[in-house]
Structure 1
Amino acid sequence: MITARRRGGLGGQDTSWPGFVDALSTLLMVIIFLLSIFVLGQFFLGQALTGREQLLAELRGQVLQLGNLLRMEQQANMALRDSMAELSASLTAANTERDRLTGSLSDAEAALAATRAQLEELTLSRDTLTALSDRLQRDYDEASTALEEERRLSQSARSEVARLRNSLQALQEQLARLEAALEASEERDRRNRAVIVDMGRRLNRALASKVEELAGYRSEFFGRLKDVLSSRPEIRIEGDRFVFASELLFESGRAELGPEGRAELRKFAETLLTIAADIPVDLNWVLRVDGHTDRRPIATARFRSNWDLSAARAISVVEFLTSVGVPAERLAATGFGEHQPLDAGDNDVAYARNRRIEMRLTQR
């Protein structure tokens, strides 16, 4: 465009501007701009370096001050260490002194407690002595008053003493008579004791003779019964008692005597009554009837246990003997249940032996 304008302005003359002149101008302007930027950068860099040097100088001064402060702090630390050592030594000494003072304080407290106890004892003793002094003063006053009264009554007292002496003498004489009577009573007591001992011996001899007499009748009774009842194997003699098997007298689980049992018991009663007629009246004998069962339990509407069954059977025998003439006061019924077996076996033979009615003639 510049070339065209130059061409039009000169009226046809060749006035064209070389293009490279524009390029050089532009390049020159760029170089000038870059140089300006570089100068400004150098300026700002110089300013920055100058500020850094000043800052570095200030930092060096601060480092120097910090070094001085560090040396002062080290010196202060050394002084503090020395002070700490002195304080530790002082603290150790103070702890030792404190322990010593603590021990002294404990001893002082113990001594104070003992002193307080002694003080309390002394105070109590003082109060006691004061009360005793007051009482003695009152006693003294009362004694003085009594002494005055005694002086006034001395004559009558002498008469009373004489009367009391006479009474004492009379009492001594009476006591002597009582002692003599007591000795006589003791002598009678010794004689009575001898008599009682002799009576006891004679009574024992009499009882022994009665027992021997009853034993003789028992032997005769058993001998006759043995002759009368020897035909029945269900009846046997074991020691001092006759043993009837329950099957002979009762049905199983019942307490009513059967006809066969009544017949055998009637023979038994006749023999008992024959022997009883010969037994002296003063020989107090009794026939004890004991009922026994086996250990198999029973529980019916009538018999709750074997105790009930054995007792009921013994009572049935006693009632029958009474009905045929045996005096009721000579009979006793006892039930033992299953608790006194003859055979400890667990079989039918043992059960049969243990189901029984025992009768023995004994003395009340």
Structure 2
Amino acid sequence: MAGTRMRRREGRTDYWPGFVDAMASLLLVIIFLLSIFVLAQFFLGQQLSGRDTVLNRLNAQISELTELLALERAGSRDLQDTIATLTANLTDAEAEQQRLQGLLDASSDRASQTGGALAGMESALEEERRLSQRALSQVELLNQQISALRRQIAALEDALEASEGRDRESQAKIADLGRRLNVALAQRVQELSRYRSDFFGRLREILSQRSDIRVVGDRFVFQSEVLFSSGAETINPAGEEELQKLADAIKELAVQIPAEINWVLRVDGHTDARPLSGTGRFRNNWELSAARAISVVRYLIDQGVDPKRLVAAGFGEYQPLEEGDSDEALARNRRIELKLTER
């Protein structure tokens, strides 16, 4: 029976020693963690205690400084009151001093008037002598300066007289040159007028058979219909024929006019006041008049006329020969004018 029981006990597994070991290990870990926690609490308490100490010290210093500041302000107010009192006392003392000084001066004046009148007169006389001597020295110096200034004025007057003489000579020369220039200009104008008359006379002979080409004042006038179609800037064949005659006359005239006369033939384009249609290539009459004047100049250059003797200008409808909107007035205002002038 006993042997059977022993065999059963030996056949079961014994867990108790392992459980005891695990519990011991767990207990050691818990104790270690508690130790760390206690140490951390200790150090944190030390830091907080140190900070509280510093904060208390700072608060105490602030309190001391506040008390010192209050004391300083009180002392400053006391000093200001003391300064005000001393200032008032000083003002009173200065007033008293001035009053006493006035009394002393009055007493001294009375004493000097009675006892030192003679000494004062002698002093005044000596002072007058010194002043007189100084004045004599200054008068002598002024006389010398006046003499030097007179010499300078005399020299300046001589220089001014010489300059005025040269100026009169220059004015005479300028007047003489002006008269000569006017005479030369008048001669130039007369010569140009003569050549203009010859030129227009020659044009009259060449173009006398046309009623739409005429002379107006100092200008030779082509009606636009002679040279251009309506609204166009291209010269038509009939116009080229007339301009060919004009080019021949200009070239013949250019040979006769002396080289010193700087002449040009100005070609002016004019239109009537009617607005252009919106379908053309020109935006307004001004552009059309300028384009027509340029076309005439280009044609004359192509025929051998010196470009330096030609000028093109466009005036649009702003230089009419006749006012009004009749067909006759509008036709007369559409024109090309030629004017022989000096540059």
Measure how far apart 1:164 and its partner are: 7.2
> Is 2:320 the counterpart of 1:341?
yes
1:247-326 correspondence to structure 2 within 5 Å: 247-300=225-278, 301-326=280-305
Measure how far apart 1:303 and its partner are: 1.1
Cα offsets for 1:331-355 (capped at 9, x unmatched): 2222121222223343323222221
- Output the aligned Cα RMSD: 2.9
For residue 232 of structure 1, give the secondary structure of its aligned residue in structure 2: coil
Whole-angstrom CA distance in 1 between matches of 2:134 and 2:225: 103
* 1:169 aligned residue (147, 156, 162): 147
* 1:354 aligned residue (317, 329, 333): 333
Measure how far apart 1:299 and its partner are: 4.3
Whole-angstrom CA distance in 1 between matches of 2:148 and 2:257: 65
Whole-angstrom CA distance in 2 between matches of 1:168 and 1:299: 89
User: What is aligned with 1:34?
Assistant: none
User: What is aligned with 1:198?
Assistant: 176
For residue 211 of structure 2, give the secondary structure of its aligned residue in structure 1: coil
1:154-233 correspondence to structure 2 within 5 Å: 166=144, 169-233=147-211
1:96-111 correspondence to structure 2 within 5 Å: none
The runs of 5 or more residues in structure 2 that have no matched partner are 1-129
The runs of 5 or more residues in structure 1 that have no matched partner are 1-151
Measure how far apart 1:268 and its partner are: 0.3
For residue 303 of structure 1, give the secondary structure of its aligned residue in structure 2: coil
Q: Which amino acid aligns with 1:258?
A: N
Measure how far apart 1:329 and its partner are: 2.4
For residue 212 of structure 1, give the secondary structure of its aligned residue in structure 2: helix
For residue 259 of structure 2, give the secondary structure of its aligned residue in structure 1: coil
Measure how far apart 1:219 and its partner are: 0.8
Decide whether aligned partners of structure 1 residues 164 and 286 sit closer, same or farther in structure 2, where only a CA change above 3 A counts: same
- Point out the structure with max Rg over C-alpha: 1
User: What is aligned with 2:309?
Assistant: 330
Q: What is the percent sequence identity of the aligned residues? A: 59
> Is 2:213 the counterpart of 1:235?
yes
1:39-54 correspondence to structure 2 within 5 Å: none
Decide whether aligned partners of structure 1 residues 302 and 165 sit closer, same or farther in structure 2, where only a CA change above 3 A counts: farther
Cα offsets for 1:64-90 (capped at 9, x unmatched): xxxxxxxxxxxxxxxxxxxxxxxxxxx
Whole-angstrom CA distance in 2 between matches of 1:282 and 1:216: 15
1:4-153 correspondence to structure 2 within 5 Å: none
Whole-angstrom CA distance in 1 between matches of 2:329 and 2:307: 33
What TM-score does the superposition give when structure 1 sets the normalisation length? 0.53
Cα offsets for 1:222-272 (capped at 9, x unmatched): 111111122233311222211111111111101111222122112101111
For residue 281 of structure 1, give the secondary structure of its aligned residue in structure 2: coil
Q: Which amino acid aligns with 1:363?
A: E
Cα offsets for 1:278-332 (capped at 9, x unmatched): 1111112111111111111114452111111111111111122222222222222
User: How many residues are treated as equivalent by the alignment?
Assistant: 217
Q: Which amino acid aligns with 1:279?
A: I
Whole-angstrom CA distance in 2 between matches of 1:328 and 1:156: 88
Which stretch of structure 1 is more off in the superposition, 320-329 or 204-213? 320-329
Whole-angstrom CA distance in 1 between matches of 2:134 and 2:303: 94
Decide whether aligned partners of structure 1 residues 308 and 159 sit closer, same or farther in structure 2, where only a CA change above 3 A counts: same
